[in-house]
Structure 1
């Protein structure tokens, strides 16, 4: 079953709508389908702009499927080329057309990494961001350790990645994780207007301007390869399998559990929870 659908309008704006109830979990099937779709959109001359949004206002993409990660092999040799998830994210970053993430609700883990790979991110006030992987004995292995520091700086990236707690939309905007917070009822019209405006400009100029901005970042390949190797190495770490299983036992990947993801991540190891209101509560 396809977990998203794509609509292309007459202006050349392709809207990819994630629709994988109940929480838009990034399953292996969803990842493979999205990777194929982004490659197709990158090469489609009729597409001027790509917008990614969710059919469910409560979740953009929860995170990658922890049950699937539990089945990943723990004896990977060093990688000679980018893995499939990294290639998908790099397609979003480097395709010759702008990519925009419209985030109305929660986004974490691999879903956050997908959004970080887009050229622009706009969020509703209710949006929540998280990288909960370290609490599960792994690390953000889908480009999070490479992209987030480049956007928010070293210290804030480490707060998010090591703290594994919820980051509210206002904080994410202040940090530079997202472009801006837009009132919920204005978010979609805002993104639609921006996408249509960009699509109206000469495609060759848009592509050339984006290419120069991407070039200014330099190549990310070596850092992504190193991140992939580091992620693979954590899969066999002491306590990793137990932490991921505990996460699932506590309600991870269920709507109730995912609504309190930062708190739940802390409960895996008994860590205190510092919520979006900044108050510390024992887990």
Structure 2
């Protein structure tokens, strides 16, 4: 599929999606959110795709925020609709995606950009990355999950400070806060992310999908994560991947998971 604001590349079952609006520092607008939704939806149905790496074009920004010019004159009703649609189409969609999503954060990840990175299953940052949620400096609050996912990752106190001050933290501070898993040189960022993706793909993608769902259940209101885990654990015994994995272990050979 042809896109105007994103680029796609598949290599060895790893799909790299690059947000490509360099003149706008890859800021998210409605069209970009829609294209990202379509790209993720297609990846969900593509058996050749096992892991997604999400990044931004250039060296300056992953995503520098939302495109403010699009909603500066919105009414309260329009603002609520904007947040709800964005959550459904992209941020919640990525967070609950059944295949691993790695955010490779190059440069600025601010506002909606950090919210998108936090929606990914985990994050790797370049050493020049800077992250923050500056929405209160515009008289608004994070509306794409920032007030929920940031405290889950860094703790309530740090999230309160970051949001209230509208300040930025650098990559090393993000690592200290557990906001990112790794920090690497900018020119090694995608290679590092690909290395982790290859480690992931050695395992059962069926089991990984179930694990993603079980982990997420712990953070969803009204759901018992332990019950979700028990159900998923039981279902795993009926999969071909389980039969292959246990057989390979008992016969001291490398597993070749069929993905079923």
Q: TM-score range by the shorter chain?
A: 0.7 to 0.9
The offset of 1:6, in angstroms, is 1.1
CA distance in 2, matches of 1:201, 1:179: 20
CA distance in 2, matches of 1:189, 1:160: 30
Q: Give the count of matched residue pairs.
A: 219
The offset of 1:212, in angstroms, is 1.7
Structure 2 alignment gaps of length 5 or more: 224-260
Instruction: Tell me if structure 2 keeps the 8 A contact 1:27–1:68.
Output: yes
Q: Which string of whole-angstrom CA distances, capped at 9 and with x for unpartnered residues, describes residues 78-135 of structure 1?
A: 87xx822111111111111110000121110111101000001000111000111101
Instruction: Show the counterpart of 1:200.
Output: 202
CA distance in 2, matches of 1:64, 1:115: 13
- Cα RMSD over matched residues? 2.2
Worse-superposed segment, 147-156 or 193-202: 193-202
TM-score normalised by length of structure 1: 0.72
The offset of 1:43, in angstroms, is 2.9
1:83 aligns with 2:61: no
Instruction: Tell me if structure 2 keeps the 8 A contact 1:120–1:179.
Output: yes
CA distance in 1, matches of 2:113, 2:173: 18
**Alignment map for 1:22-171 (pairs within 5 Å):** 22=23, 23-75=25-77, 83-87=84-88, 88-171=90-173
The offset of 1:76, in angstroms, is 5.4
CA gap of 1:48–1:144, structure 2 versus 1, over 3 A, is same
1:71 match: secondary structure: coil
CA distance in 1, matches of 2:222, 2:121: 15
CA distance in 1, matches of 2:221, 2:8: 30
Instruction: Tell me if structure 1 keeps the 8 A contact 2:87–2:144.
Output: yes
Structure 1 alignment gaps of length 5 or more: 222-283
1:209 aligns with 2:211: yes
Instruction: Tell me if structure 1 keeps the 8 A contact 2:71–2:79.
Output: no
Q: Which has the higher contact order (CA 8 A, sep 6+)?
A: 1
The offset of 1:185, in angstroms, is 3.3
